[in-house]
Chain A
Amino acid sequence: MKQTVHPPEHRSVRLRNGAAHAAPPPARTTERRRPVSPQWAAWAFLTPVTLYLALFYAYPLYRNLDLSLRNYTVRSFVQGDAPFTGLENYRKVFDDPTFAPALLHTVVFTGVCLAFQYAIGLALAVFFNQHFRLSATLRALFLVPWLLPLIVSASTWSWMLNSDSGIVNAALHALGLDPVNWLTSPSWSLTSVIIANIWIGVPFNLVVLYSGLQSIPSGLYEAAALDGAGAWRRFWSITFPLLRPVSAITLLLGLVYTLKVFDIIWIMTKGGPADASTTFATWSYQLGFGNLLPAFGPGAAVGNLLVVAALAFGLLYMRVQRKQAYS
């Protein structure tokens, strides 16, 4: 951008400066900044976004890191004199009996949700790409889970899955099956929140993958059809490979969204019973806010582990992208 635009800019500004009175007011203000130096203009454009990033992203991150490296009690939290303890909070978190189950649940929750959300989203996207009648209406209806406030959908799920008065158990009963303690049994609660989260995440995958499908030229399909490729073959040889960049960003965004899912789990099970559906996100909240006596340090430490995990996958994505760009 810098190299190509600037030389002509200089000239035009000098020419017009004399006639500045005639120029309309908005044009004048933008032009006046330019003559000094191209560097200044660049900085002027950069400052708002840098300030914004520093204030709303870098500072909170720094604070969270600081919080996780000090031994905060309620007293030192208020007075601001918490002693620096290095990695003590992290050690505490790693030694906690909740750590292993929380890690496992986070991995299972994220992995299973991603796989199902992506597979169902892709299937629906291909389905809606057929342009049949009502396909637009139906597609719009599929967006509902995404538009509902999480508190509404999570509460509805928790009501439907209630052991005694839930509609799901009523349906099972009508089919002659035994009721399942969806939210209150340690072996089912994680499954229940996963199901709810898949339902919420499908529309996002559907929308992104559907728009990805639009950019695949239809000529390819026609050519393939002429060559005698069946529907299955066309999907695996055209749709899937050409959708790869879109799939990658969908999965990355999905991963980040899913890693930090908190509301659904908290509303449905509070991470329980007995930590059976605790993930890092709910554990972090539980430590920091779920108790009358908050443990800010360990809570922040768990939060930072999540940040690192998301960052790691972000970097992995970049690497893959770069490899693809060069090849």
Chain B
Amino acid sequence: MHSTSRRRLAAVALSTVLAAAGTACSSGSGSTDTKGADSGTYTIWDPYPQFAKGSAWVKLLDACGSKAGVKVKRTGFDTSDLANKTLLAAQQGNSPDVLIVDNPVVSTLAEAGVLTTTDENKLDTSTVDPNLLAAGQSDGKTHGTPIGANTLALYYNKKVLKEAGVDVASIKDWKSLTTALEKTKKAGKKGITFSAIGTEEGSFQFLPWFWGSGAALTDLDSPAAVSALSLWKGWLDKGYAPNSVLNNTQTTSWQEFASGDYAFAENGTWQLAAAKKAGFDYGVLPIPATGGGNAAAPTGGEFVTVPVQSDTGRYATTSKLTACLTSNTNLYDTDTTLSYVAPTEEVRNKQVAADPALGPWVDAVKAAKGRTSDDLGTKYPKISEQMWKAVQSALSGSKSPKDALTSAQAAVK
């Protein structure tokens, strides 16, 4: 009798708990103690887990700390985790003192009331390019300053293009690009690879084509938008792009390009260092718009922000820290390590002088557009989710581009 009732209890407890464990979104108890006991310690969260202790980035943080006369406690998070971690920390009242976060998240965190404005935190944004700063602005207030910017362009493999008989200078619009892909396919090579995965990354990669068609994020099912999705769909149908793009992250897509078989890859500034190691001659081309000219690509890169603290006395020291992090010399060093383009003209000139290969990227960043710009703010995440779903539906063949975008637009409303 005892053993059966115990087993019964165990079975119920177990089944309940296991299912709950898989889902619990709640109450992530604040075990990440951000403050520490003494107020002389300032916490910094960043999305660069690839930088370990002893790396230039962490050394820079420590140096800025000692300059401000405080100790710095730094934690690196996975970038997709950071927004939720920050929200939870804010709920528990232990936000970090400085938060470096992906730019489309800034407006969400600002909406949540987690971030101070530049009026309060004394961040100097006067020299930052307005198109980059826009991603951190909502309701006329600025909530941070970019630490660096990156964007998308087309990398191309010179050898493959030569074998296919394609002249890069001839690629000016979508039509000539598609012709180039056709030629590469005929030459027995592979055309283009990109990332159309069902996450924010997929939307990020689709945006240059979306904007390049003349479409606007507020109108997902416009004929222009349909033409952009049809372009991608056509490439997949004709075999110019591999079917695996549906599951490609930007990293796996880059690996495909690095195999040396592909003529083109849509990828970001941050791959520049990897491109130099790829072992073949490559070039960079801005993504063309439908009728010629360059398409606006979305800006990537992180913002330095200052989360709201209950102890407002901390802001004075925090502003010393952020001023140090965004000073010209440090921006230069940081953006070089991250392979980013600097957000200010002065530092950018210095970067191009040191590495002329950055030239096309600087132009691309100047033409780039924030995803949350145009005062989209927190509407962007909803639009973006529907957009990547539409891309996935169309490319996998479960819906036509037009139907996919029509239902996406309907779901946003």
Which residues of A sit under 8 angstroms from B389, Cβ to Cβ?
274-275
State whether A260 touches B19 (Cβ < 8 A).
yes
Q: Is B247 an interface residue (CB 8 A)?
A: yes
Which residues of B sit under 8 angstroms from A300, Cβ to Cβ?
23, 25-26
Contact count band on A: 35 or more
Nearest CB of A to B303, in Å: 14
State whether A184 touches B384 (Cβ < 8 A).
no
State whether A294 touches B84 (Cβ < 8 A).
yes
Which residues of A sit under 8 angstroms from B199, Cβ to Cβ?
270, 290
State whether B87 touches A292 (Cβ < 8 A).
no
Chain B, Cβ-Cβ closest to A305: B23
The listed residue (B20, B108, B395) touching A64 by CB distance below 8 A is: B20
Nearest CB of B to A134, in Å: 35
Which residues of A sit under 8 angstroms from B21, Cβ to Cβ?
260
Q: A162-B244, A303-B20 are in contact. Are A67 and B26 (CB under 8 A)?
A: yes
Q: Is A203 an interface residue (CB 8 A)?
A: no
| A197 to B109 alpha-carbon distance, docked (Å) | 37
State whether A284 touches B15 (Cβ < 8 A).
no
Q: Is A121 an interface residue (CB 8 A)?
A: no
Most chain B beta-carbon neighbours within 10 Å: one of A60, A290, A313: A60
Q: Is A127 an interface residue (CB 8 A)?
A: no
| A262 to B395 alpha-carbon distance, docked (Å) | 24
Q: Is A46 an interface residue (CB 8 A)?
A: no
| A275 to B388 alpha-carbon distance, docked (Å) | 11
Q: Which of B2-10, B267-275, B280-288 contacts A (4 or more CB under 8 A)?
A: B2-10
State whether B382 touches A77 (Cβ < 8 A).
no
State whether A74 touches B25 (Cβ < 8 A).
no
Q: Is A79 an interface residue (CB 8 A)?
A: yes
Q: A162-B247, A281-B22, A315-B12 are in contact. Are A186 and B84 (CB under 8 A)?
A: no
Chain B, Cβ-Cβ closest to A183: B247
| A309 to B18 alpha-carbon distance, docked (Å) | 12
State whether A314 touches B15 (Cβ < 8 A).
yes
State whether A61 touches B16 (Cβ < 8 A).
yes
State whether B84 touches A289 (Cβ < 8 A).
yes
Nearest CB of A to B109, in Å: 8
Which residues of A sit under 8 angstroms from B22, Cβ to Cβ?
259-262, 281, 303, 306
Which residues of B sit under 8 angstroms from A93, Cβ to Cβ?
none
Q: Is B332 an interface residue (CB 8 A)?
A: no
State whether A292 touches B105 (Cβ < 8 A).
yes
Q: Which of B36-44, B111-119, B129-137, B175-183 contacts A (4 or more CB under 8 A)?
A: B111-119
| A311 to B15 alpha-carbon distance, docked (Å) | 6
Nearest CB of B to A255, in Å: 8
| A304 to B87 alpha-carbon distance, docked (Å) | 22
Chain B, Cβ-Cβ closest to A313: B15
Chain A, Cβ-Cβ closest to B259: A165
State whether B26 touches A63 (Cβ < 8 A).
yes
State whether A302 touches B23 (Cβ < 8 A).
yes
Chain A, Cβ-Cβ closest to B104: A292
Chain A, Cβ-Cβ closest to B398: A186
Chain A, Cβ-Cβ closest to B377: A293
State whether A276 touches B396 (Cβ < 8 A).
yes
Q: Which of B360-413 contact A (CB under 8 A)?
A: 378, 380-382, 384-385, 389, 392-393, 395-399, 404, 411
Q: Is A253 an interface residue (CB 8 A)?
A: yes
State whether A163 touches B244 (Cβ < 8 A).
yes
Which residues of B sit under 8 angstroms from A117, Cβ to Cβ?
none
Nearest CB of A to B388, in Å: 9
State whether A78 touches B378 (Cβ < 8 A).
no
Which residues of B sit under 8 angstroms from A164, Cβ to Cβ?
242-244, 256
Q: Which of A35-43, A236-244, A317-325 contacts B (4 or more CB under 8 A)?
A: A317-325
Nearest CB of A to B111, in Å: 6
Which residues of A sit under 8 angstroms from B26, Cβ to Cβ?
60, 63-64, 66-67, 296, 300
Given A78-B87, A272-B198, 20 further pairs, Cβ under 8 A: A57-B13, A60-B20, A61-B20, A64-B24, A74-B87, A74-B109, A74-B378, A77-B112, A163-B243, A165-B256, A252-B15, A253-B14, A260-B23, A272-B246, A274-B404, A292-B105, A292-B381, A303-B20, A304-B23, A321-B8
**What are 18 sample pairs from A and B whose C-beta atoms fall under 8 A apart?**
A57-B13, A75-B112, A75-B113, A162-B244, A165-B256, A272-B197, A272-B198, A288-B25, A291-B384, A292-B200, A292-B381, A292-B384, A303-B20, A307-B16, A310-B18, A311-B12, A317-B11, A325-B4
6 A-B pairs closest in CB distance: A303-B23, A260-B22, A293-B381, A310-B19, A273-B396, A314-B15
Which residues of A pack against B, CB within 8 Å?
1, 53, 57, 59-61, 63-64, 66-67, 73-75, 77-80, 97, 158, 162-165, 181, 183-186, 249, 252-253, 255-257, 259-262, 269-276, 281, 284-285, 288-294, 296, 299-300, 302-304, 306-307, 309-311, 313-315, 317-318, 321-322, 325
Which residues of B pack against A, CB within 8 Å?
2, 4, 7-8, 11-27, 83-84, 87, 90-91, 104-105, 108-109, 111-114, 197-200, 242-244, 246-247, 256, 378, 380-382, 384-385, 389, 392-393, 395-399, 404, 411
